Structure 1
């Protein structure tokens, strides 16, 4: 009954009930970010006083990339600007 309700096999349920603690999950591997190749360009633009929207507009027009404005804003915040 529990196995059906939770959509798991009876064997998995039996195994889970015998454990004291739930199994630890391993962190998944993340690939390179969308900004990895553009970080030097963004850093240079930010050093020259460009704001996030200006950087985003220039990246769209001059570098033919599709990065969201929010991704650039988050990157600029985390790098300390």
Structure 2
């Protein structure tokens, strides 16, 4: 346990940020999986719609400092290549 006020505050902030990041990262996995499921089903229309949602959300996470810009761009690029291959 923390021995002084600032250490206690940092511990509380870490708990809050960890919970927040867990929510965002779970959502990232969900939107990515939605695109991949649509690709598996060979449904171009659904894949395109899911891709738009994934692109929007991944870049939203960049603005919230959950992901780095290059990481989001890489994930979007890899998904887009798969969607375009349909």
Quick check: which one's helix share is greater? 2
Provide TM-score, normalisation by structure 1: 0.30
